[in-house]
Structure 1
Amino acid sequence: MRIVTWNINSLRLRLPLLGEVIRHLAPDVICLQETKVPDPLFPEKALAELGYPYFVRKGMKGYNGVAILSRYPLVASEDTPDWCEKGDCRHVAATIATDSGPVEIHDFYVPAGGDIPDPEANPKYAHKLAFVDEVTAWFATHHKTRSVIVGDLNIAPLEHDVWSHKQLLDVVSHTPPETTRLNAWLETGFVDAMRHFVPPGEKLYTWWSYRNRDWSASNRGRRLDHVWITPDLKPSLTGMTVVREARDWASPSDHVPVVVDLAV
């Protein structure tokens, strides 16, 4: 099973780029974040024509939105909470049958958190911390097997997940309150699939700011996109790729797709 996760930053705007991802990577499952499309306008026909007739999605106008697209039938998971009771379309989950048994996939778009790393001064940052706390508590009491978490988790937890650990310690996405929480969520029973292939001592990024004109030369990136698996799937890992070249496509997202291959 080849899984791609990508913050597409508007599904309808970047549908042609999704076509490029499909042609280059031929994924079985595509998990998208920031689809920015309400459910009634979800481009079902276009996605079916691209080879993905099966999907689950939660979307809203202009903001957020997540979707799981599949070449194969899937069943939506109905027991997931409305995080922080905001109804803001940040999580969708589904189960897909494989030869070795079902695999449940969770697709998350964690709040970005604004610019000020102070929960009292910045409600967006407070929401982000509360969101991760709620998710962590839920997974701690809902132990899963044969499960995958993917998505734009909007936190770069490790020193080499950012271009400068020292300079970004006070920048939202790498502050200690965020990184501590993300690691606690991971420790509810998951393995960092990307770092299985790229050791923690090596730089690894999935996002480069639109503000940086020559993003590739300066390489001031962050790893905001993640793939986690339950330990029982670790022996199935066969490959991982960060599609860095996608950042140079016409009208790109500021995130690039991440690919993980599982022999299931």
Structure 2
Amino acid sequence: MKIASWNINSVRARLDIVERFLTAEQPDILCLQETKVVDDTFPADMFQRLGYVHRVLNGQRMHHGVAILSRLPLFEHGRHDWQDNGEARHVGVRLENGVRVENVYVPAGGDVPDRTVNPKFGQKLDFIGRMTRWSEELREPTLIVGDFNIAPLECDVWSHKALLDVVSHTPIEVAALAALQASHDWVDLGRRFIPAPARNFTWWSYRAKDWTANDRGRRLDHMWASPAVAATATAHRVHEDCRSWLRPSDHVPLVTEFDMAGVGL
């Protein structure tokens, strides 16, 4: 089983590169974040044509929206409002083998890492806190993927020193994400297969005319697995080349392969 995750930054604007990626990579399941489209106008035809006949959408205009597209049946759809304001930032499903797949888009948190002057930063920390309380009670084998908007390790950013006070890599965010990870013994598949301190970025700002020139990346996108699910993971890749495609997202897709046949989950 091959599962992909990608913050696409508008699925309608980047439908061509999504099709290119799906045709080349052939994942069984694709989790998208920041789809920026309501469910009624989601561009389903291309996915249907490529065999992704199962869809679970949680759409919204502006900068939100998540979707799960699958060639495999999806059951027990669910949505958590971890933002606590109705923003469409999560959708989850159960697969036939009992594994849950949770697709999440954590808010960016604004520019100032201080909740007293920047409410968006407080909302981000509270979002992670609600996820943590959910995670503490989780008993099902689960894969959680998406844009977490936090680069936790020093080697997950182009310069730890330069970004210590920049939202996405501040100590308070890193601590909040560490608490979430500890709450379920989540296995960070990105660092299991690409161990620190190896370079592993998933996002580069649009502000740089040539994103490759200075390579100022951050690892904001993640795939975490329950220990039982992580034990079945066989490969993980970051498709960095997608950042150079025509009209790219500022994020690149992640893909993990699993061999769950015969494994008692």
TM-score (norm 2): 0.95
1:120 aligns with 2:116: yes
Q: CA deviation at 1:129?
A: 0.6
Question: Where do 1:1-264 residues align within 5 Å?
Answer: 1-78=1-78, 80-97=79-96, 101-145=97-141, 147-189=142-184, 190-264=186-260
Q: CA deviation at 1:63?
A: 2.0
Alpha-carbon RMSD: 1.1
Mapped contact 2:57–2:68 kept (Cα < 8 A): yes
Q: Deviations over 1:218-247 (max 9, x none)?
A: 111000000001101222111111001100
Q: Residues of 2 paired with 1:59 and 1:175: CA distance?
A: 30
Q: Secondary structure at the match of 1:138?
A: helix
Q: Residues of 2 paired with 1:159 and 1:132: CA distance?
A: 20
Q: Deviations over 1:73-101 (max 9, x none)?
A: 101433x432242110000000112xxx2
Q: Which amino acid aligns with 2:71?
A: R
Mapped contact 2:99–2:140 kept (Cα < 8 A): no
TM-score (norm 1): 0.95
Q: CA deviation at 1:141?
A: 1.8
Q: Residues of 2 paired with 1:109 and 1:2: CA distance?
A: 20
Q: CA deviation at 1:143?
A: 2.9
Mapped contact 1:56–1:76 kept (Cα < 8 A): no
Q: Which amino acid aligns with 1:140?
A: E
Q: CA deviation at 1:176?
A: 0.7
Q: Deviations over 1:47-89 (max 9, x none)?
A: 21122010111011122100011001101433x4322421100
Q: Secondary structure at the match of 2:100?
A: strand
Q: CA deviation at 1:138?
A: 1.2
Q: Secondary structure at the match of 2:231?
A: helix
Q: Which amino acid aligns with 2:235?
A: G
Q: Residues of 1 paired with 2:45 and 2:242: CA distance?
A: 24
Q: Percent identity?
A: 47
Q: CA deviation at 1:44?
A: 2.2
The total of aligned residue pairs comes to: 259
Q: Residues of 1 paired with 2:48 and 2:23: CA distance?
A: 14
Q: Residues of 2 paired with 1:234 and 1:50: CA distance?
A: 28
Q: Which amino acid aligns with 1:49?
A: R
Q: CA deviation at 1:142?
A: 2.4
Structure 2, unaligned runs of 5 or more: 261-265
